[in-house]
Amino acid sequence: MAITRFAPSPTGYLHIGGLRTSLYSYLWARKTKGQFKLRIEDTDTQRNNEEAMKAIIEAFEWVGLNYDGEVEYQSKRLDIYTKYINQLLKEDKAYYCYMSKEELDALREEQTLKKETPRYDGRYRDFKGTPPAGIEPVVRIKAPQEGNICFEDGVKGAMNFDANQVDDFVIARSNGMPTYNFVVAIDDALMGITDVIRGDDHLTNTPKQIVIYNALGFDVPKFYHVPMINNPEGKKLSKRDGAMDVMQYKNEGYLPEALLNFLVRLGWSNKDQEIFSMQEMLDLFDPKNINKSASAYNEEKLKWLNAHYIKNVSNERLAKELEFFGCVLHGHDKKEMILDLCKERAQTLVELKVSIDGILDTPTSYEDKGVNKFVKEDTLAMLNEYMALLESNQSTLHLACDYELITKPFIETKQLKFPQLFQPIRIALTGGTQAPSVYDIMAILGYSETISRLNKAITKNFQN
């Protein structure tokens, strides 16, 4: 039974890297009948942002990853951290350090000159003298001075850090505020987190956090460090490549199931399967199969998945999603027909809306290029005859096949080529030449609206 968590710092919006580790954490918790918790790491008061905090919670709601219990805010847990700092000081596992900023800078400079990795030199570790006046001390942990800090990473295998690499790092600043690695370890331990699944940019924090677990006698959780998502060129993902706010995917017309399916595959696989329902993810996901190497963002694949989900979710759901884009089909008697037709060609909900509007909105202009190419001298006469045909069959015209039934003989008798008839109709009905099958459009618009649009185009001679 895994207890996992997602622990974002609300300094920016939730991006897809964060959503991916949340998804993995969520799946693992749900699959093992454990718990998935959300903790907002908001101790860095200067960089936190109220908006970002709301956006993170909103994004979770949108994708439907529900967490257990209340959201924990680190800013509300300061008393807990202070208690542990005092405990460590009392047990002589931590100590006050009175080094001034200037002294620290000088030490760093000296070490850099000697080509050493800058690290605190432990000068106050066993200090028993009178502290220098006027310095508010920081608190440092007594990190082990020899040996190794080892752990078995669920993705990367055996990790072994020389204790030398971890200095006596600061656990409380001079203003009493605890530091990042300290509070993460305390919270993970107190929240009972058994499995920490996070980006491998945190790998070097882990030995520090293990020092804290050991000092406080807490059990060390299992760690899984997930490799980064890169752009297709193997470089760091930028905004242009998709490293944007998760809610931007909503605005661009992606369905949450497509985004989650896309993310589960970015860094994890089950043979060559590409489509995963939430249930399949839950059945098949195991963090031990997370890929060891970085994955590449692939927009085409996301679009392909989105098209798949647009085609496969119910029309009811699509109609509901489209309302966000101002496209209201609710109560429209041809709702099913419109969606069945348009969803076949849409990669995003935005494209779906555009194609629906393209049919339902009366054209306000006719595309010049199409008119020049397809509206010839005899076109208007042909359309008039065609309208007469529609009129005489009015009572039989309901479905696309009804229009097809009377149109085919018309084309044959007149020896027309399809575009000769269909393109002018398309332009008259939608303004352009790109719309789907004219039979479908006529069926959706219905007899009266079809006649009215054809009449208007004829009257205006297809001029704007």
Task: Tell me how many degrees the CA angle 185-191-197 measures, rounded to the nearest 5.
Answer: 65
Site string for ligand GLU, 132-171 (x = CB under 6 A): ----------------------------------------
Closest approach, Cβ 262 to ligand GLU, in A, equals: 21
**CA geometry: angle 77, 79, 85, nearest 5 deg:** 110
Provide the greatest CA pair distance for the chain.
Answer: 110
Residue placing its CB nearer to ligand GLU in the complex, 41 or 168 = 41
Which CB, 41 or 440, lies closer to ligand GLU? 41
Minimum separation from the CB atom of position 246 to ligand GLU (A): 14
For the CB of residue 184, give the shortest distance to ligand GLU in the complex, in Å: 5
Query: Which is closer to ligand GLU, CB of 70 or CB of 378?
Result: 70
Nearer to ligand GLU, 20 or 198 (CB): 198
Contacts of 4 (CB under 8 A, 6+ apart): 25, 26, 28, 29, 34, 35, 36, 37, 193, 194, 195, 196, 197
Q: How far is the CB of 179 from ligand GLU (least distance, A)?
A: 12
Choose between 198 and 453: whose C-beta lies nearer to ligand GLU: 198
Contact window for ligand GLU (CB under 6 A) among 1-9, 211-219, 292-300, 360-368: 1-9
Total residues contacting ligand GLU (rule CB under 6 A)?
7
289 within 8 A of 268, measured Cβ to Cβ? yes
Specify the residue, 169 or 366, whose C-beta has the smaller distance to ligand GLU.
Answer: 169
The pair of structure tokens assigned to 106 is: 């000088």
- Return the SS3 of 235: coil
What is the nearest approach in angstroms of ligand GLU to the Cβ of residue 156? 15
**Residue 14 Cβ vs ligand GLU, minimum distance, rounded to whole Å:** 10
Task: Give residues with Cβ within 8 angstroms of 228, minimum separation 6.
Answer: 17, 199, 200, 201, 236, 237, 294, 295
CB of 39 to ligand GLU, least distance (A): 8
Q: How far is the CB of 337 from ligand GLU (least distance, A)?
A: 47
Give the span between the Cα atoms of 5 and 74, in whole angstroms.
14
Task: Work out which of 202, 303, 317, 345 binds ligand GLU, going by CB under 6 A.
Answer: 202
Burial class (CB in 10 A: 0-12, 13-18, 19+), 100: exposed
| Under 8 Å between Cβ of 20 and 229 | yes
If residue 172 lies in a helix (H) or strand (E), which one and from where to where? strand 170-172
**Residue 23: CB minimum distance to ligand GLU, A:** 14
CA distance 78 to 178: 8
Site string for ligand GLU, 243-282 (x = CB under 6 A): ----------------------------------------
CA distances (Å), origin 284, targets 27, 232, 265, 396: 9, 27, 12, 52
Nearer to ligand GLU, 202 or 308 (CB): 202
4, 411, 425, 450 from 371: Cα distances, Å: 61, 20, 11, 18
In whole angstroms, give the CA distance from residue 352 to residue 372.
Answer: 28
For residue 452, count other CB atoms closer than 10 A to its CB. Answer: 13
Q: Which is nearer to ligand GLU, 223 or 439 (CB)?
A: 223
CB of 47 to ligand GLU, least distance (A): 11
Interaction mask 2-41, ligand GLU, x per CB under 6 A: -----xxx-------------------------------x
* CA distances to 279, 351, 424 from 316, in Å: 21, 18, 33
A 10 A CB-CB count for 341 gives 21
Number of H helices, E strands in the chain: 18, 12
Kindly state the smallest distance separating residue 441's Cβ from ligand GLU, in Å. 50
Q: Does 56 participate in binding ligand GLU (rule CB under 6 A)?
A: no
Q: Can you tell me which of 15, 198, 353, 426 binds ligand GLU, judged by CB under 6 A?
A: 198
Q: What is the C-alpha separation between 457 and 427, in angstroms, rounded?
A: 8
For ligand GLU, which is the closer residue by CB, 9 or 423? Answer: 9
d(CA 170, CA 180): 10
- Which is closer to ligand GLU, CB of 108 or CB of 202? 202
Closer residue to ligand GLU (CB): 226 or 310: 226
Q: Segment 416-435, which members bind ligand GLU (CB under 6 A)?
A: none
Q: Based on CB atoms, which residue is closest to ligand GLU, 8 or 207?
A: 8
Rule CB under 6 A: is residue 184 a binding residue for ligand GLU?
yes
397 lines the binding site for ligand GLU (CB under 6 A) = no
- Exposed, middle or buried by CB within 10 Å (0-12, 13-18, 19+), for 330? exposed
Closest approach, Cβ 73 to ligand GLU, in A, equals: 12
Interface residues with ligand GLU (CB under 6 A)?
Answer: 7-9, 41, 184, 198, 202
